[in-house]
Amino acid sequence: MSDIKPDVVLDTKGLNCPLPILKAKKALKGMENGQNLELASTDPGAVKDFEAFCKATGNKLVSHWMDGEVFMFMIERVV
Amino acid sequence: MADVDLGSAKKMTIICTKGTLDWAYPPFILATTAAAMDVEVTMFFTFYGLGLLDKKLNLGVTTLGNASMRMPMGGMQMAMPNMISMIPGVTAGTSIMMKNLIKKKGVASIEDLREAAVLSDVRMIACQMTIDLFEKKTENMIEDIELGGAATWMESALASDINLYM
Protein backbone atom coordinates (compact mmCIF):
# COMPACT_ATOMS: atom_id res chain seq x y z
CA MET A 1 0.00 0.00 0.00
CA SER A 2 1.19 3.49 -0.67
CA ASP A 3 0.67 6.45 1.65
CA ILE A 4 0.80 8.90 -1.23
CA LYS A 5 -2.48 10.18 -2.61
CA PRO A 6 -2.23 9.86 -6.39
CA ASP A 7 -3.26 12.71 -8.67
CA VAL A 8 -4.10 10.30 -11.46
CA VAL A 9 -5.17 6.65 -11.20
CA LEU A 10 -4.81 4.36 -14.21
CA ASP A 11 -6.25 0.86 -14.50
CA THR A 12 -4.44 -1.23 -17.11
CA LYS A 13 -5.59 -4.60 -15.75
CA GLY A 14 -6.04 -7.15 -18.52
CA LEU A 15 -3.76 -5.28 -20.91
CA ASN A 16 -0.47 -6.76 -22.00
CA CYS A 17 2.88 -5.30 -23.09
CA PRO A 18 3.36 -2.66 -24.37
CA LEU A 19 -0.01 -1.13 -23.46
CA PRO A 20 0.65 -0.45 -19.73
CA ILE A 21 3.78 1.55 -20.65
CA LEU A 22 2.08 3.40 -23.50
CA LYS A 23 -0.90 4.33 -21.34
CA ALA A 24 1.37 5.44 -18.49
CA LYS A 25 3.33 7.65 -20.87
CA LYS A 26 0.12 9.22 -22.17
CA ALA A 27 -1.14 9.87 -18.64
CA LEU A 28 2.17 11.35 -17.50
CA LYS A 29 2.24 13.66 -20.50
CA GLY A 30 -0.95 15.32 -19.29
CA MET A 31 0.32 15.73 -15.73
CA GLU A 32 2.44 18.34 -13.98
CA ASN A 33 5.90 17.77 -12.55
CA GLY A 34 5.65 16.51 -8.99
CA GLN A 35 2.28 14.86 -9.53
CA ASN A 36 1.82 11.16 -8.85
CA LEU A 37 0.35 8.46 -11.07
CA GLU A 38 -0.97 5.25 -9.52
CA LEU A 39 -1.16 2.41 -12.01
CA ALA A 40 -2.59 -1.11 -11.77
CA SER A 41 -1.42 -3.89 -14.09
CA THR A 42 -1.83 -7.64 -14.43
CA ASP A 43 1.13 -7.91 -16.80
CA PRO A 44 3.88 -9.88 -14.99
CA GLY A 45 6.52 -8.14 -17.11
CA ALA A 46 5.32 -4.76 -15.86
CA VAL A 47 7.61 -4.63 -12.80
CA LYS A 48 10.80 -4.79 -14.85
CA ASP A 49 9.26 -2.65 -17.58
CA PHE A 50 8.30 0.20 -15.29
CA GLU A 51 11.71 0.20 -13.62
CA ALA A 52 13.29 0.51 -17.07
CA PHE A 53 10.76 3.09 -18.23
CA CYS A 54 11.39 5.32 -15.23
CA LYS A 55 15.16 4.94 -15.53
CA ALA A 56 15.08 5.90 -19.21
CA THR A 57 12.64 8.79 -18.95
CA GLY A 58 13.84 10.24 -15.65
CA ASN A 59 10.48 9.81 -13.93
CA LYS A 60 10.56 8.40 -10.40
CA LEU A 61 9.22 4.97 -9.54
CA VAL A 62 8.22 5.93 -6.01
CA SER A 63 7.01 2.49 -5.02
CA HIS A 64 5.51 -0.72 -6.30
CA TRP A 65 3.48 -3.29 -4.40
CA MET A 66 1.04 -6.14 -4.86
CA ASP A 67 -2.69 -5.77 -4.35
CA GLY A 68 -3.69 -9.41 -4.40
CA GLU A 69 -2.63 -10.62 -7.85
CA VAL A 70 -2.39 -7.10 -9.27
CA PHE A 71 0.87 -5.19 -9.66
CA MET A 72 0.57 -1.64 -8.38
CA PHE A 73 2.91 1.25 -9.20
CA MET A 74 3.29 4.81 -7.93
CA ILE A 75 5.16 6.99 -10.41
CA GLU A 76 6.09 10.61 -9.82
CA ARG A 77 6.38 12.79 -12.88
CA VAL A 78 9.77 14.45 -12.74
CA VAL A 79 10.56 15.46 -16.28
CA MET B 1 18.13 10.65 -10.70
CA ALA B 2 18.03 10.35 -14.48
CA ASP B 3 20.57 8.13 -16.21
CA VAL B 4 19.56 9.67 -19.49
CA ASP B 5 21.87 12.18 -21.15
CA LEU B 6 19.31 14.87 -21.81
CA GLY B 7 21.66 16.53 -24.25
CA SER B 8 21.28 13.91 -26.96
CA ALA B 9 18.01 12.09 -27.51
CA LYS B 10 18.57 8.48 -28.47
CA LYS B 11 17.59 7.44 -31.97
CA MET B 12 16.41 4.10 -33.31
CA THR B 13 15.79 3.00 -36.88
CA ILE B 14 13.85 -0.16 -37.69
CA ILE B 15 13.66 -1.64 -41.16
CA CYS B 16 10.58 -3.83 -41.62
CA THR B 17 10.73 -6.35 -44.42
CA LYS B 18 8.00 -8.78 -43.37
CA GLY B 19 4.24 -8.40 -43.46
CA THR B 20 2.80 -11.36 -41.59
CA LEU B 21 0.90 -10.99 -38.32
CA ASP B 22 3.69 -12.49 -36.24
CA TRP B 23 6.32 -10.29 -37.84
CA ALA B 24 4.19 -7.15 -37.49
CA TYR B 25 4.38 -7.18 -33.71
CA PRO B 26 8.09 -6.79 -32.94
CA PRO B 27 8.60 -3.57 -34.95
CA PHE B 28 5.45 -1.87 -33.66
CA ILE B 29 5.94 -2.93 -30.05
CA LEU B 30 9.55 -1.80 -30.03
CA ALA B 31 8.77 1.45 -31.87
CA THR B 32 5.95 2.48 -29.53
CA THR B 33 7.84 1.45 -26.40
CA ALA B 34 10.95 3.28 -27.54
CA ALA B 35 8.91 6.39 -28.30
CA ALA B 36 7.41 6.15 -24.81
CA MET B 37 10.97 6.09 -23.47
CA ASP B 38 11.86 9.29 -25.31
CA VAL B 39 13.68 7.66 -28.22
CA GLU B 40 13.34 9.20 -31.67
CA VAL B 41 12.11 6.35 -33.88
CA THR B 42 12.15 5.91 -37.64
CA MET B 43 10.51 2.91 -39.28
CA PHE B 44 11.36 2.04 -42.86
CA PHE B 45 8.94 -0.34 -44.59
CA THR B 46 10.10 -2.34 -47.58
CA PHE B 47 9.00 -5.44 -49.50
CA TYR B 48 6.41 -7.32 -47.52
CA GLY B 49 6.72 -4.83 -44.67
CA LEU B 50 4.98 -2.32 -46.92
CA GLY B 51 1.74 -4.20 -46.30
CA LEU B 52 1.85 -2.97 -42.70
CA LEU B 53 1.08 0.52 -44.01
CA ASP B 54 -2.17 -0.44 -45.74
CA LYS B 55 -5.20 1.43 -44.43
CA LYS B 56 -7.15 -1.78 -44.15
CA LEU B 57 -5.02 -4.49 -42.60
CA ASN B 58 -5.72 -8.15 -43.04
CA LEU B 59 -2.56 -9.72 -41.74
CA GLY B 60 -2.11 -13.45 -41.90
CA VAL B 61 0.12 -16.03 -40.34
CA THR B 62 0.96 -19.38 -41.91
CA THR B 63 1.56 -22.81 -40.47
CA LEU B 64 3.79 -23.68 -43.41
CA GLY B 65 7.46 -23.93 -42.57
CA ASN B 66 6.84 -22.50 -39.12
CA ALA B 67 8.75 -25.27 -37.37
CA SER B 68 8.83 -23.49 -34.05
CA MET B 69 5.16 -22.53 -34.04
CA ARG B 70 3.22 -23.91 -31.10
CA MET B 71 -0.38 -22.86 -30.70
CA PRO B 72 -1.96 -23.19 -27.24
CA MET B 73 -4.86 -25.53 -27.86
CA GLY B 74 -6.68 -27.70 -25.38
CA GLY B 75 -4.20 -26.90 -22.65
CA MET B 76 -1.27 -28.10 -24.76
CA GLN B 77 1.28 -26.46 -27.06
CA MET B 78 0.38 -27.88 -30.46
CA ALA B 79 2.90 -28.01 -33.28
CA MET B 80 1.44 -27.38 -36.71
CA PRO B 81 2.18 -29.95 -39.44
CA ASN B 82 3.20 -28.36 -42.77
CA MET B 83 0.61 -30.44 -44.58
CA ILE B 84 -2.40 -28.73 -43.03
CA SER B 85 -1.45 -25.42 -44.63
CA MET B 86 -2.40 -27.04 -47.96
CA ILE B 87 -6.01 -27.33 -46.91
CA PRO B 88 -8.11 -24.40 -48.10
CA GLY B 89 -9.05 -22.13 -45.25
CA VAL B 90 -6.35 -23.24 -42.84
CA THR B 91 -4.11 -20.20 -43.25
CA ALA B 92 -7.10 -17.88 -42.86
CA GLY B 93 -8.31 -19.93 -39.90
CA THR B 94 -4.93 -19.86 -38.19
CA SER B 95 -4.73 -16.09 -38.70
CA ILE B 96 -8.17 -15.59 -37.18
CA MET B 97 -7.27 -17.92 -34.31
CA MET B 98 -4.15 -15.94 -33.57
CA LYS B 99 -6.03 -12.63 -33.70
CA ASN B 100 -8.62 -14.00 -31.27
CA LEU B 101 -5.86 -15.16 -28.95
CA ILE B 102 -4.27 -11.74 -29.12
CA LYS B 103 -7.57 -10.05 -28.25
CA LYS B 104 -8.27 -12.53 -25.45
CA LYS B 105 -4.89 -11.92 -23.83
CA GLY B 106 -5.25 -8.14 -23.83
CA VAL B 107 -2.51 -7.62 -26.39
CA ALA B 108 -2.96 -4.59 -28.61
CA SER B 109 -4.01 -5.00 -32.22
CA ILE B 110 -1.57 -3.93 -34.92
CA GLU B 111 -3.98 -1.15 -35.89
CA ASP B 112 -3.88 0.25 -32.34
CA LEU B 113 -0.10 -0.05 -32.09
CA ARG B 114 0.32 1.62 -35.44
CA GLU B 115 -1.95 4.47 -34.39
CA ALA B 116 0.01 4.84 -31.15
CA ALA B 117 3.21 4.98 -33.20
CA VAL B 118 1.84 7.74 -35.42
CA LEU B 119 0.62 9.68 -32.37
CA SER B 120 4.09 9.36 -30.80
CA ASP B 121 5.64 10.97 -33.88
CA VAL B 122 7.34 7.79 -35.05
CA ARG B 123 8.60 8.54 -38.54
CA MET B 124 7.18 6.04 -41.06
CA ILE B 125 8.94 5.78 -44.39
CA ALA B 126 7.64 3.65 -47.26
CA CYS B 127 10.14 2.26 -49.73
CA GLN B 128 9.42 3.95 -53.05
CA MET B 129 11.05 1.20 -55.07
CA THR B 130 8.89 -1.52 -53.54
CA ILE B 131 5.76 0.53 -54.17
CA ASP B 132 6.71 0.76 -57.84
CA LEU B 133 7.75 -2.89 -57.98
CA PHE B 134 4.49 -4.28 -56.67
CA GLU B 135 2.41 -1.52 -58.28
CA LYS B 136 0.93 -0.51 -54.96
CA LYS B 137 -1.10 2.66 -54.58
CA THR B 138 -0.33 5.16 -51.83
CA GLU B 139 -4.06 6.02 -51.62
CA ASN B 140 -4.52 2.64 -49.96
CA MET B 141 -1.92 3.39 -47.32
CA ILE B 142 -2.20 5.37 -44.10
CA GLU B 143 -1.69 9.10 -44.40
CA ASP B 144 1.27 9.78 -42.16
CA ILE B 145 4.01 8.28 -44.28
CA GLU B 146 6.95 9.62 -46.23
CA LEU B 147 8.33 8.05 -49.37
CA GLY B 148 12.01 7.26 -49.55
CA GLY B 149 14.72 5.02 -50.84
CA ALA B 150 17.76 3.25 -49.53
CA ALA B 151 19.68 6.47 -49.05
CA THR B 152 16.89 7.79 -46.83
CA TRP B 153 17.21 4.71 -44.65
CA MET B 154 21.02 5.08 -44.66
CA GLU B 155 20.80 8.67 -43.44
CA SER B 156 18.54 7.67 -40.56
CA ALA B 157 20.56 4.56 -39.73
CA LEU B 158 23.87 6.42 -39.65
CA ALA B 159 22.47 8.78 -37.04
CA SER B 160 20.86 6.07 -34.92
CA ASP B 161 22.06 4.46 -31.72
CA ILE B 162 20.00 1.37 -32.45
CA ASN B 163 19.44 -0.17 -35.87
CA LEU B 164 17.12 -3.12 -36.22
CA TYR B 165 16.40 -5.34 -39.19
CA MET B 166 13.21 -7.32 -39.00
Whether B143 and B52 have beta carbons less than 8 Å apart is answered as no
B22 burial (CB, 10 Å; 0-12 / 13-18 / 19+) is middle
B38, B105, B108 member nearest A56 (Cβ): B38
Distance CA B31, CA B35 (A): 6
Domain positions in chain B? 12-165
* Residues in chain B closer than 8 A to A57 (CB atoms): 2, 4, 36-38
Is the C-alpha dihedral spanning B44, B46, B51, B53 positive or negative? positive
Tell whether the model's pLDDT for residue A14 goes beyond 60.
yes
pLDDT tens for each residue of B123-140: 999 999 999 999 999 999
CA distance B82 to B42: 36
Q: What is the pLDDT of residue B133?
A: 96
Collapsing DSSP to helix, strand or coil, A40 comes out as strand
Q: Do B39 and B11 contact (CB within 8 A), yes or no?
A: yes
Mean of the per-residue pLDDT values for chain A? 93
Distance CA B16, CA B30 (A): 12
**CA gap A66, A12 in Å, rounded:** 14
Greatest Cα pair distance in chain A? 31
pTM for the model stands at: 0.88
Mutate to test the interface with A, among B29, B37, B161 (most CBs of A within 10 A): B37
pLDDT digits (tens, 9 = 90+) for A21-44: 999 999 999 999 999 999 999 998
Report how far apart the first and last C-alpha atoms of chain B are (Å, whole number): 34
**Where residue A1 falls among pLDDT bands split at 50, 70, 90?**
low
pLDDT band at B71 (very low <50, low <70, confident <90, very high): confident
Among A22, A28, A76, the strongest candidate for a mutation testing the B interface, having the largest count of B CBs within 10 A, is A22
pLDDT score at B8: 64
Q: In this structure, are residues B44 and B148 in contact, taking their beta carbons and an 8 Å threshold?
A: yes
Domains of chain A, earliest start first: 8-76 (3.30.110.40)
Write down the architecture of domain B12-165 according to CATH.
Answer: 3-Layer(aba) Sandwich (3.40)
Peptide bond into B81 cis (omega under 30): no
d(CA B101, CA B140): 28
Q: Specify the 3-state DSSP secondary structure of A51.
A: helix
Q: What is the pLDDT of residues B16-27, one digit of tens each?
A: 999 999 999 999
Catalytic residue among A17, A22, A52, A66: A17
Tell me, what's the ipTM? 0.83
Task: Give the pLDDT score at B7.
Answer: 45
- Whole-angstrom distance, CA of residue B118 vs CA of residue B21: 19
pLDDT of residue B6: 43
For residue B10, pLDDT beyond 50: yes
Tell me the residue type at B47.
Answer: F
Q: How far apart are the first and last CA of chain A?
A: 25
Compute the mean pLDDT over every residue in chain B, rounded to the nearest whole number.
92
Q: Tell me the DSSP string of chain B.
A: ---S-TTS--EEEEEE---SHHHHHHHHHHHHHHHHTT-EEEEEE-GGGGGGGBSS-------TT-TT-EEEETTEEEE--GGGGGSTTHHHHHHHHHHHHHHHTTPPPHHHHHHHHHHTT-EEEEEHHHHHHTT--GGGB-SS-EEE-HHHHHHHHHT-SEEEE-
Active site residue A54: no
